[in-house]
Copies of this chain bind each other. A is one copy, B any other.
Amino acid sequence: MKLYVVGLGPGEQSQMTVKALEAIKNSDTIVGYGVYVDLIKDIVEGKEIITTPMKKEVDRCHMAVKAAISGKNVSMVSSGDAGIYGMAGLVIEVLSEYENHNVEVEVIPGITAASSASSVLGAPLTHDFAVISLSDLLTPWEHIEKRLSLASEAGFVICLYNPSSKKRADYLNKACEIVMKNLPKDTPCGFVKNIAREGQESVILTLEELKDAKVDMFTTVVIGNRTTKIVDGKLVTPRGYNI
């Protein structure tokens, strides 16, 4: 049977790929965190829906794998790209624990927040970039600090996922302090809240202003490099063409 791991993109169905829509259509069972399943509720009517709370990712994978082994086509859905900080790796690992199955995993990519946030802000990722999650739930904070420091030293544009949460209210502030050792305070930056969802809001500001900005877990942040500039109110990292 097929076990699709489907990236839903930023939120609105029009930003899903045709392949993602078809995988969901071909599935008997949809597995996902409730908020994600809500994004597609009108196209999953009549299907078996398995939702689990957050932080129950491993359980969710076992449920999806068992449903597929029992003879169902299953779509495990998550927002953005299922392969980028998503569930695709965990599904592959969990499935490998089972023997003698006829389940084939297919990862169907979606638009990740780096792409969708950048498209709202302008074109900041025209050049080499690094993607860093500020969540230290599964990564020691010292590793995150090191990555922020080396990425800014290397001249990458930096895209931050999970920049804040209730427990980590000051993490974006700390992150900006670190990159400011390598970048001017007036480096152009931006963030987008609720991309392609109700209440979408985008802000372009300096690195110094970003340090004190109020963001939440539904925000994606972009920190420019030394060439990033603001053109007609949009954040642009030039690729280097003479125009």
List residues of A whose CB falls within 8 A of some B CB: 7, 9, 12-19, 21-22, 57-58, 61, 81, 83-86, 88-97, 105, 107-112, 114-116, 118-120, 122-133, 138-139, 143-144, 146-147, 150-151, 153-156, 231-232, 234, 236-243
Contact = CB atoms under 8 A, between A and B. Distances in A.
8 contacts: A89-B126, A92-B232, A110-B115, A112-B115, A130-B156, A138-B241, A143-B155, A150-B151
A13 B17 CA distance: 9
B85 A127 contact: yes
A88 B119 contact: yes
Contact of A155 (B89, B128, B147, B237): B147
A130 B109 contact: no
Contacts of A85: 125-127, 239
A129 B126 contact: no
Q: Which 8 A-B pairs have the closest CB atoms?
A: A89-B123, A138-B240, A88-B123, A107-B119, A109-B115, A150-B154, A89-B126, A14-B19
A39 B180 CA distance: 43
Contacts of A232: 92, 95-96
Which of A7, A89, A143 has most chain B Cβ within 10 Å? A89
Contacts of A150: 150-151, 153-154
Contact of A118 (B17, B58, B83, B242): B83
A107 B126 CA distance: 13
B122 A147 contact: no
A108 B119 contact: yes
Contacts of A122: 88-89, 92, 107
